[in-house]
């Protein structure tokens, strides 16, 4: 009876274990991550990344047009303002007194002109009747002309005094923020001396130094991507608005790009990376070819060239022979073996073999069936 139980137990164990050896796994069955590129006909763009600085489209120092003593300053560093706002003011007492004096001089000149005009017209009638001498008439005429010119001078002098009075007010030329305050109340300032530094809030641009060997490959109006170290996931398109005509230090030329948008996190003075997409230095790829990186090629035993194509289903790479029509820098132009839309592995091809399991870099390592 005990022998029967023993045989029964062995039989059940065999059924549970399926009486088979455990499946053996190999390392190659784990999908290898790969970097790929979709094949497209045409010439590739050459990318260059240059570091630049964000700046306001308008940033200027403001100064008074007249000399005087500061009466008040209405803004501090970092304050925002609107166009036409009062930013600072000079003491106006002396300027107001000058305006009043010039008004008095104009009134006197006008009174003199009235008398001279009346005397001129009276003697003009009398000279016709020979009641006054010709010399007396000419003297009246000269006095009238002098009085008329005196009125013009007095009016111009008054207008200048009024302009100087208005120049005691430093007004905002546009909406912006204060980036520098160089004056304080009771300080004596000269005409033209910087008082405040301001910049507008209407737009931001990037200033970058472009090496002389790349200058002939960029164009005004071309658009390029700009990214920012403070927020690397965020990229903004920008258009080239200025290309300098004179080299700066180390034979670089200043180039300015206007940003399409202005996110709140961007501030003038921050660092920006400009990704210049340039046309090939040697244009004219053979017709009907497909450009791929040189790193995608692998030599075969007969010194021919091969590439690995990635197939998402079933998640494998396959080897394919290709014919290289031309080379250009880091690019190879393929005339045979590739088709538009093929997905080519572009890095690490020497670690792959035909039929090897693979997955795209960044995707989860799924288990692909045979």
Number of neighbours of residue 2 by Cβ within 10 angstroms: 6
Does the structure show a pLDDT above 70 at 12? no
139: left (phi over 0), alpha (psi -120 to 50) or beta: alpha
Q: Verify that 104 and 151 share a domain, yes or no.
A: yes
pLDDT tens string 332-356: 889 899 988 899 999 889 889 999 9
pTM score of the predicted model: 0.56
Q: Which string of DSSP letters, residue by residue, matches 305-327?
A: EEEEEEETTTTEEEEEEEEEEEE
Q: Verify that 215 and 243 share a domain, yes or no.
A: yes
Quick one: pLDDT at residue 282?
Answer: 58
Domain that includes residue 155, residue range: 93-166
Considering only CA atoms, which of 320, 291, 294 is closest in space to residue 307?
320
Q: How far is CA 16 from each of CA 4, 20, 66, rounded to the nearest angstrom?
A: 19, 10, 103
Quick one: pLDDT at residue 91?
Answer: 97
Quick one: pLDDT at residue 3?
Answer: 44
What percent of the chain has a predicted confidence (pLDDT) above 90?
A: 52
Asked if residue 300 belongs to a domain, the reply is: yes
Quick one: pLDDT at residue 354?
Answer: 92
pLDDT tens string 272-327: 999 888 876 655 567 678 888 999 999 888 888 999 999 988 889 999 999 998 88
pLDDT tens string 134-186: 899 899 999 999 999 999 999 999 999 999 999 999 999 999 999 999 999 99
Q: Verify that 248 and 305 share a domain, yes or no.
A: no
**Residue 146 is part of a domain; what is its CATH number?**
1.10.287.470
Q: Verify that 291 and 224 share a domain, yes or no.
A: no
pLDDT tens string 90-106: 999 999 999 999 999 99
**Residue 259 is part of a domain; what is its CATH number?**
2.40.30.170
User: Rounded to an integer, what distance in angstroms lies between the CA atom of residue 13 and that of residue 199?
Assistant: 84
């Amino acid at each position: 009876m005990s022998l029967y139980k023993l045989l029964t137990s062995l039989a059940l164990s065999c059924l549970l274990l399926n009486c088979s050896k455990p499946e053996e796994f190999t390392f190659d069955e784990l999908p290898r991550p790969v970097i790929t590129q979709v094949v497209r006909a045409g010439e590739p763009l050459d990318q260059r990344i240059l570091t630049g600085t964000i700046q306001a489209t308008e940033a200027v120092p403001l100064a008074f047009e007249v000399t005087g003593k500061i009466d008040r300053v209405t803004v501090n560093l970092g304050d925002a303002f609107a166009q036409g706002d009062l930013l600072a003011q000079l003491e106006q007492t002396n300027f107001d007194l000058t305006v009043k004096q010039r008004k008095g001089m104009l009134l006197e000149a006008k009174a003199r002109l009235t008398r001279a005009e009346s005397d001129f017209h009276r003697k003009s009638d009398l000279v016709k009747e020979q009641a006054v001498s010709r010399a007396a008439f000419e003297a009246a005429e000269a006095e009238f002309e002098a009085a008329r010119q005196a009125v013009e001078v007095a009016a111009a002098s008054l207008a200048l005094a009024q302009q100087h009075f208005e120049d005691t007010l430093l007004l905002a030329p546009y909406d912006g923020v204060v980036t520098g305050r160089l004056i304080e109340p009771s300080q004596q300032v000269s005409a033209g001396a910087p008082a405040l530094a301001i910049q507008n809030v209407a737009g931001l641009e990037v200033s970058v130094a472009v090496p002389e060997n790349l200058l002939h490959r960029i164009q005004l109006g071309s658009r390029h991507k700009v990214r920012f170290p403070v927020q690397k996931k965020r990229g903004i398109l920008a258009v080239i608005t200025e290309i300098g005509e004179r080299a700066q230090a180390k034979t670089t030329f200043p180039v300015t790009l206007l940003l399409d948008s202005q996110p709140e996190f961007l501030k003038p003075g921050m660092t920006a990376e400009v990704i210049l997409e340039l046309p090939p230095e040697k244009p004219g790829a053979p017709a009907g070819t497909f450009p791929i990186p040189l790193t995608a090629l692998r030599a075969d035993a007969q010194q021919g060239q091969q590439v690995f194509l990635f197939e998402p289903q079933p998640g494998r790479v396959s080897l394919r022979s290709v014919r290289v029509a031309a080379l250009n820098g880091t690019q190879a132009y393929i005339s045979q073996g590739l088709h538009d839309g093929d997905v080519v592995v572009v890095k690490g091809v020497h670690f792959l073999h035909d039929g090897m399991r693979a997955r795209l870099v960044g995707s989860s390592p799924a288990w692909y069936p045979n």
